[in-house]
Structures are given as C-alpha cells and as structure tokens.
C-alpha cells in the first residue's frame, strides 16, 4: 500500500487521516505539503491509526513538522498511532517530544472550535 492523506477541517482545526507506509520521499513530501498548507489554522491533528509502517525518514518528518508548527504558533497533535508507529515513537523516545493526544482530546478541540464558530456567527448576526 502506498501513502495517502485525507483532510477534514472545522473552523481553525484540521484532521489529516494518514494511511499506508510513511517510508518514501514521495510519501513524506505529500505529508509535509498537506500540513504546511494549513498555516492559518490553530490546531492540526495527524491521525496515524492507519499508518502501517514508519521509518527514520518518517520520524524525522514528524519532528520537522512539529518544529514548523511550533515556529508558526500551531498545535500539531498526533492521534491514535498504530502499534508499529507507537513502538517506533517509544523506541526513539519521541513520545517525550511530540504531542500524542487521545481521541477524547481531539473531540474537545473540535467542540471548542464549533463553539467559537457559533460565537462568531452570533456576533455577526
């Protein structure tokens, strides 16, 4: 299986569902382009539940995207890493560097974004 990214956005929060193999330059470039194109958002969530395998390049890309997000004032959250991804994150101790969130955390982020949109709509009306 190759690598693909599917994006959903609500307000200033986007979820990128990643699936496949995060191992080749083309896949990593796709992920980088998808995340960095969202520079106006408050939160970007990477759902890694369907990522089958990740190599050193993929780990490096996650760190690079984390650094980019910090510089740009964006929260980058990793959610539900698959078992092989979680094992690699733990083995390399990147769990102490990257923000790995639960599904409940992401639901709360979306609820906050929805309330903000309702407040803006109410203020405009």
Q: Any idea what the CATH number is for the domain that residue 115 is in?
A: 3.30.750.24
Q: Which residue in the block uniquely carries the two structure tokens 């307000």?
A: 11
The count of other CB atoms within 10 Å of the CB of residue 66 is 20
Q: What is the pLDDT of residues 43-56, one digit of tens each?
A: 999 999 999 999 99
Which residues, 6+ apart, have CB-to-CB distance to 42 below 8 Å? 12, 13, 74, 75, 113
Asked if residues 19 and 50 have their Cβ atoms less than 8 Å apart, the reply is: yes
**Residue 121's pLDDT is what?**
47
Rounded distance between C-alpha atoms, residue 121 and residue 93, angstroms: 43
Asked if residues 46 and 77 have their Cβ atoms less than 8 Å apart, the reply is: yes
- pTM of the model as a whole: 0.83
**Residue 120's pLDDT is what?**
44
Domain count of the fold of the chain:
1
Residue 90's domain comprises 3-124
């Amino acid at each position: 299986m190759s690598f693909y990214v599917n994006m959903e956005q609500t307000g200033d929060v986007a979820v990128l569902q990643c699936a496949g193999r995060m191992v080749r330059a083309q896949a990593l470039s796709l992920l980088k382009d998808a995340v960095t194109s969202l520079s106006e958002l408050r939160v970007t969530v990477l759902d890694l539940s369907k990522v089958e395998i990740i190599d050193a390049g993929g780990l490096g890309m996650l760190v690079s995207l984390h650094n980019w997000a910090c510089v740009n004032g964006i929260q980058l959250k990793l959610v539900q890493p698959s078992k092989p991804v979680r094992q690699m994150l733990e083995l390399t101790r990147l769990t102490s560097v990257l923000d790995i969130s639960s599904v409940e955390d992401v639901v709360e982020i979306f609820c906050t974004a929805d309330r903000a949109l309702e407040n803006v709509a109410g203020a405009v009306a």
